[in-house]
Amino acid sequence: MNVEEIIKTETKIPLKSRSIIHLFLVHNKVNDHLAKVLKPFEVSLQQFNVLRILRGRKGKPANLSTLNERMINKMSNTTRLVDKLLVKGYVDRAVCPSNRRKVEITITTEGEKVLRKMDRIIKHAEEELVHNFSSKELEQLNLLLHKF
Amino acid sequence: MNVEEIIKTETKIPLKSRSIIHLFLVHNKVNDHLAKVLKPFEVSLQQFNVLRILRGRKGKPANLSTLNERMINKMSNTTRLVDKLLVKGYVDRAVCPSNRRKVEITITTEGEKVLRKMDRIIKHAEEELVHNFSSKELEQLNLLLHKF
DNA sequence: TTTATACATTTGTATATACAATTATTGTAT
DNA sequence: ATACAATAATTGTATATACAAATGTATAAA
């Protein structure tokens, strides 16, 4: 993935800008690919992440704020995201009895079922995406990303 | 930027997934920051990129397909993006005389003027974002991103 | 108790984007 | 010249998102 070639510029880009453009290009590639493999399930990457978070809570319900905290893309409208999962039957939503301002969101067994299917596909996609990397290189990448 | 801390999980994430999540987190941070510094100009990062591409053509007009090619986020609706720049007076649009299917988009002097202002701000923002990196580390990051 | 403040979520609005369908123009084969 | 395919851009539709404002509930102060 050569940056200059992809964005079709003849001029050499300064290192700092180049790094950031490179980051965007790679993110787009990864994002597009993951979105594509989730397409058959008719869920977005965001929705998939919400389901994963809910499963990670092992039955303990999550309210919207905690959900938001754990999400990769902090977004303001988690309400509508959960709505989508609700109509698909993948999550339940109930008013929290101890604090009626809050809502309690849990994953349904149906949600867990499709999530297991998605897991396999996503795992495979991730492996494809990083197939050029050795473990050592991935460790190195994480160290560098950590500097941002 | 510790991944597990940010997404608030106790369980250790496998290296491959961790790398991808890390990539997303960093991208979000960078994207948010750049969008924020462009906010006062009321242009999106995408619009800024279009202006930069047009300037790079040094007067030579660009049509929508070439514009699309050079954009970081390939998007289907460049038309509407250019519309926004048009109402701001930053670009001109004309039908290509030699091939009336095409349009010719050029940056206006007003567009160039604001672009120069944005350049300074973006340069500064980029330097802030990578301030923890040495040149050598940035080179290394680029090499690793190249593997995607 | 009333009032104010903080909290948690929802809703409204504008913009962004993905994808498909449509329009207009050009090139080409017969 | 006509028909058909290819190209370039635009439009329609559904969904996504950012941001601000509004709603409803709980807590604290006077």
Q: Three-class SS of residue B34?
A: helix
User: Strand C: which of residues 88-127 in chain B lie with Cβ below 7 A?
Assistant: 99-101
The pLDDT of residue A75 is above 80: no
Residue B138 with chain A: CB contacts under 8 Å: 15-16, 19
Q: How many angstroms separate the CA of residue B39 from the nearest CA in chain A?
A: 18
**Residue found by looking up tokens 């893309």 in the block:** A73
Q: Are A23 and B31 in contact (CB under 8 A)?
A: no
What does the pLDDT read at residue B73?
79
By CA distance, what is B18's nearest residue in A? A142
pLDDT tens, A24-66?
989 989 998 999 999 889 999 999 999 999 998 888 999 998 8
Place of tokens 């998939």: A48
Of A18-27, A67-76, B16-25, the poorest mean pLDDT is in A67-76
Amino acid at the residue B6: I
Q: What does the pLDDT read at residue A107?
A: 95
Q: Where are the alpha helices (DSSP H) in B13-131?
A: 15-38, 45-56, 64-70, 78-87, 109-129
Q: Record the tokens describing residue A22, joined without a space.
A: 């490179």
Type and span of the H or E element at B53: helix B45-56
Task: Select from B54, B45, B133, B117 the least CA-distant residue to A15.
Answer: B133
How far: A76 CA to D19 C1' (Å)? 8
| Chain B residues within an 8 Å CB radius of A3 | 142
State the pLDDT at residue A92.
94
Domain boundaries, chain A: 43-146
Q: Distance, angstroms, CA A102 to C1' C7?
A: 9
Q: Are B144 and B103 in contact (CB under 8 A)?
A: no
Task: Give CA–CA dist B51/B82, Å, rounded.
Answer: 10
Identity of the residue in A7, A74, A133 whose CB atom sits nearest the CB atom of B70 = A7
**Is residue B104 classed as helix, strand or coil in its secondary structure?**
strand
CATH annotation of B43-146: 1.10.10.10
pLDDT < 50 positions in chain B: none
Closest protein residue to D18 (Cα–C1'): A76
| Token output for B81 | 């993006």
- Greatest Cα pair distance, chain B, in angstroms, is 62
* Residue B31 DSSP SS3: helix
